[in-house]
Amino acid sequence: MTTCEWPTTPLYQDYHDYEWGRPIHDDQHQFEHLCLESLQCGLSWLTILNKRNIIRACFDHFDIDAVAAYGESDIERIMQTEGMLKHRPKIEAIINNAAAFKRIQSEFGSFCNYIWGFTNHKTIIYENHPEGHFPTKNGLSTRISKDLKQRGFKFVGPVTIYSHLQASGLINDHGKDCPCFKEINKTADIVRLPVDDEA
């Protein structure tokens, strides 16, 4: 049997059961996930989940237009918020990324059109992943990371992007015996592919 054993708290379990791996086709939700993944660099995901409501409040619940318009006073406000992660470069990166996100929306019609275009608008199931053999990054996440960086994004390395692809349902990395694996496959347009330059 291969089930997802990483949820170790009720909060983690809820995230696993109702969010992680479920295809996201909404730009604001995509933006939130991308921001949370970039904040997570060097930290545990459980830390991010525990602070999620604080983070949401700091960034206007990830209203893309609002965040893109932030200035120095907003950075100071966020830095002084009790319980918030005090990492100025990551805070600045989120503001920067909101503006870059808007440029992608203008070019492609939506960020979802852009990022799902890398998978031909399908949820990928890679060979051996349902058995629990998945990497920290792969060829797909490296290609997307490179393109995002060229478009001005920050804190979007291949490992961060691979996590984003898992979380937002472009890749289904639930274990084959996890109920979520089957639920997602029933409703998503899936494609099974060989591994892609994994590391």
Q: Give tens-digit pLDDT for 78-110.
A: 999 999 999 999 999 999 999 999 999 999 999
| E strand spans, 68-181 | 123-126
Helices (H), 109-178: 111-117, 139-150, 158-167
Q: Using CA atoms, how far apart are residues 61 and 66, in angstroms rounded to an integer?
A: 9
Average pLDDT estimate for 120-131: 97
Residue 191 vs residues 31, 41, 107, 167: alpha-carbon distances, Å: 24, 29, 26, 17
Residue 162, Cβ density class (10 Å: 0-12 exposed, 13-18 middle, ≥19 buried): buried
The radius of gyration of the chain from alpha carbons, rounded to an integer in Å, stands at 17
- Other CB atoms closer than 10 Å to residue 91's CB: what's the count? 22
At residue 4, what is the residue type? C
Upper half-sphere CA count for residue 112 (Cβ side, 13 Å): 14
Work out the pLDDT band at 47, boundaries 50, 70, 90: very high
Q: Give tens-digit pLDDT for 63-84.
A: 999 999 999 999 999 999 999 9
The catalytic residue positions are: 15, 37, 45
The mean-pLDDT minimum among 3-7, 17-21, 111-115, 119-123 falls in: 3-7
Smallest CA-to-CA distance from 181 within 171, 189, 172 is with 172
In this predicted structure, the answer to whether residue 44 has a pLDDT above a threshold of 80 is yes
Cβ distance 190 to 172 under 8 Å? yes
In this prediction, residue 80 carries a pLDDT of 97
